[in-house]
Amino acid sequence: MVARKVCVRGRVQGVFFRDACSREARLAGVTGWVRNEPDESVAAHFEGPPAAVEHMVAWCHEGPRHARVVEVLATETSPTGAVDFDVRM
């Protein structure tokens, strides 16, 4: 079990990034959360098997169809024991 904290910058709010991220995470078997930040970035916490978490970090580089990702910063963090994937406000 590994965990990554991710910050995604670009045109990532108002393009259903959080909803698409949540669907992709559930399909990948990843738990954690995703939320919009006041600076118009999107933050996420992914945890699960290493390959699944890396899949989600890679997914963030593209995001949903209307997103325009400029930068993805991913850092290793500790798993929290999350049991689901939540969209936070």
Annotated active-site residue in 11, 36, 65, 68: 36
Please classify residue 39 by burial: count the beta carbons closer than 10 Å to its beta carbon, then call 0-12 exposed, 13-18 middle and 19+ buried: exposed
Judge whether 86 and 47 are in contact, CB under 8 Å: no
Is 9 among the residues known to form the active site? Answer: no
Q: In 1-89, which residue ranges form alpha helices assigned H by DSSP? A: 17-28, 50-60
Is 36 among the residues known to form the active site? Answer: yes
Annotated active-site residue in 4, 11, 18, 35: 18
Spatial distance between the Cα atoms of 47 and 74, rounded to a whole number of angstroms: 12
Spatial distance between the Cα atoms of 85 and 4, rounded to a whole number of angstroms: 14
Which residues are part of the catalytic machinery? Answer: 18, 36
